């Protein structure tokens, strides 16, 4: 069951357009060549406004997580979800959900390799992550 649909703003629209194309997009600073997330019109490290959107690999690793056993409506309170912090192979970290496994600690090994997946809802597509290796 989807949560509330995202409401893109100019700074986040390319991220959601990428998701609709089943691509994970983040920004990269041209002068220092570093990727960053969340979206903003300047580099968080050097302050340059020479930034561009890029499609990244979708490869990531699990940094931390919680299991929400009682999601608050409009999410389904009966369906636990994994809320995770992942680090992309390109460097940025993002909050996301882990899918493709039962939401139990024994299935969630810190540092485990993950791969981006895309869940299509009626109004939007949500990037999430699943284990890169079947468990
Ligand atoms: Zn920079």
Question: From ligand 1's centre to the CA of 25, what distance in Å?
Answer: 17
Residue 95 backbone dihedrals phi, psi, to 5 degrees? -80, 140
- Asked whether residue 20 is assigned to any structural domain, the reply reads yes
- Asked whether residue 80 is assigned to any structural domain, the reply reads yes
- Asked whether residue 50 is assigned to any structural domain, the reply reads yes
pLDDT number for residue 1: 53
- Asked whether residue 67 is assigned to any structural domain, the reply reads yes
- Asked whether residue 5 is assigned to any structural domain, the reply reads no
Which are the contacts of 41, defined by CB distance < 8 A and separation ≥ 6? 11, 49, 51
Distance from C-alpha of 37 to C-alpha of 33, rounded to nearest angstrom: 13
pLDDT number for residue 121: 93
- Asked whether residue 62 is assigned to any structural domain, the reply reads yes
Containing 129, the helix (H) or strand (E) segment is: strand 125-131
Question: From ligand 1's centre to the CA of 54, what distance in Å?
Answer: 14
- Number of folded domains that form the chain: 1
Question: From ligand 1's centre to the CA of 51, what distance in Å?
Answer: 8
Question: From ligand 1's centre to the CA of 43, what distance in Å?
Answer: 5
110 by Cβ neighbours in 10 Å (0-12 / 13-18 / 19+) ranks as exposed
Q: Which domain covers residue 18, as residue numbers? A: 13-131
Distance from C-alpha of 123 to C-alpha of 133, rounded to nearest angstrom: 30
pLDDT number for residue 74: 82
**Hey, which residues does 120 pair with through a beta bridge?**
125
Pick out the chain residues at pLDDT < 70. 1, 135
Strands 113-120 and 81-88, by their bridges, are: unpaired
Six token digits for residue 5: 């649909």
Nearest CA to 39 out of 6, 4, 10, 17 is that of 10
Question: From ligand 1's centre to the CA of 33, what distance in Å?
Answer: 7
Question: From ligand 1's centre to the CA of 56, what distance in Å?
Answer: 17
- Asked whether residue 7 is assigned to any structural domain, the reply reads no
- Asked whether residue 6 is assigned to any structural domain, the reply reads no
């Amino acid at each position: 069951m989807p949560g509330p649909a995202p409401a893109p703003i100019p700074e986040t629209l390319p991220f959601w357009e990428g998701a609709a194309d089943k691509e994970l997009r983040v920004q990269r600073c041209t002068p220092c060549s570093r990727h960053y997330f969340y979206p903003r019109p300047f580099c968080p490290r050097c302050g340059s406004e020479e930034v561009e959107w890029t499609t990244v690999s979708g490869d990531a690793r699990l940094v931390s997580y919680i299991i929400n056993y009682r999601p608050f409506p409009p999410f389904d309170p009966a369906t636990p979800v994994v809320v995770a912090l992942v680090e992309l192979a390109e460097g940025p970290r993002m909050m996301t959900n882990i899918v493709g496994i039962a939401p139990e600690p024994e299935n969630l090994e810190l540092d485990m390799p993950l791969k981006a997946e895309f869940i299509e809802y009626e109004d939007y597509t949500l990037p999430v992550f699943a284990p890169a290796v079947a468990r």
